[in-house]
Amino acid sequence: MDFIFNAVMVLGAIALIAAFVLFFVSKKFAVIEDPRVGQVQEALPGANCGGCGYPGCSGFAEALVKGADSGSIDGLFCPVGGREVMTRVANLLDMAIANSEPMVAVVRCNGTCENRPRIAVYDGLRTCAAMHSTSTGETGCGFGCLGCGDCVSACQFDAIHMNPETGLPEVVDDLCTSCGACVKACPRHIIELRKKGPKNRRIYVQCVNMDKGAVARKACQVACIGCGKCLKACRFDAINIENNLSYIDYSKCKLCTKCVDECPTNAIAMVNFPVRKPKSTKQVPHTEKAVTPPAEQSAPKAYVEENKEKVKS
């Protein structure tokens, strides 16, 4: 009995000491969380997509609170919630937010089945990442879309789908939150986030091929050949050409469509613009002219003069 009693006393003493140690450590190293973090996190959509640049909404909420403590939350934006959510967050933190332009994902490739014929058959894991790591794909273009749909799998908002006829991904503007998941998923970097533009209108070069003109055109009929005609047509310094590829800066573009008219390969996309009316041919007003009788047209001058003399006599 004494053995059992001693064991109980020893274990009880150890438990008591451990409890005191845990209590001391919890007080000494306690992390006090700002209650605003939880409030901000509740205001966020909870998508945890990473489009804000932070690992989930909790990390973004902490960044917002730290930014508010430092005096500014500029540069912090939730692409899923948009301006409405950011306004609510700013009110919670007693901060002001800067105006931010709505963005949308665009696919910078127009290599459809017609424009970019298949020259090979890929027999392997049907993902863009796998195909890109093993080969140039099933076409002659080593820069364009691989068509396996990694971007579709990455999108959490059902905003991008593969078109079975063209073999290319298409973005649904109304569903796209500009989270950037599709941009990260594409191994060839053909998807980028661009400003939606007024009335959802935007102009961009729908090609990322950096080969020289003849090589690029051979691989795809609508490839950018770096001819520079769009650069000369732009009056706003919105276009630059680098590595045989033209690029339009959406922050400078005024949507004048001059570059679209000048592109010889139709490599520049023009989205949500009204359909252009065909140029009407100007009708020349009809004016009646005096018609000379056939006999007088063909009669010699001497014959005409002789007949006039006869008439006078």
* Residue 52 marked ligand-binding: yes
* Residue 227 marked ligand-binding: no
* Residue 57 marked ligand-binding: yes
* Residue 253 marked ligand-binding: no
* Residue 148 marked ligand-binding: yes
Helix or strand or coil: residue 126? coil
Helix or strand or coil: residue 253? coil
Q: Which residues pair with 246 in a beta bridge?
A: 241
Pair of tokens at residue 277: 């009316």
* Residue 113 marked ligand-binding: no
* Residue 230 marked ligand-binding: no
CA dihedral 185, 189, 194, 200 (to 10 degrees): -80
Cβ-based neighbours of 62, under 8 Å, separated by 6 or more: 37
Q: How far is it, in rounded angstroms, from Cα 145 to Cα 35?
A: 46
Residue 116 Rama label (left phi>0; alpha psi -120 to 50; beta) = beta
* Residue 145 marked ligand-binding: yes
Q: What is the largest CA-CA distance in the chain?
A: 172
Residues 165, 169, 171, CA angle at the centre, nearest 5°?
A: 120
* Residue 78 marked ligand-binding: yes
Q: How far is it, in rounded angstroms, from Cα 46 to Cα 56?
A: 8
Whole-angstrom CA distances from 36 to 96, 132, 276 are 16, 45, 53
Known binding-site residues equal 49, 52, 57, 78, 141, 145, 148, 151, 155, 176, 179, 182, 186
Binding-site sequence positions for [4Fe-4S] cluster? 49, 52, 57, 78, 141, 145, 148, 151, 155, 176, 179, 182, 186
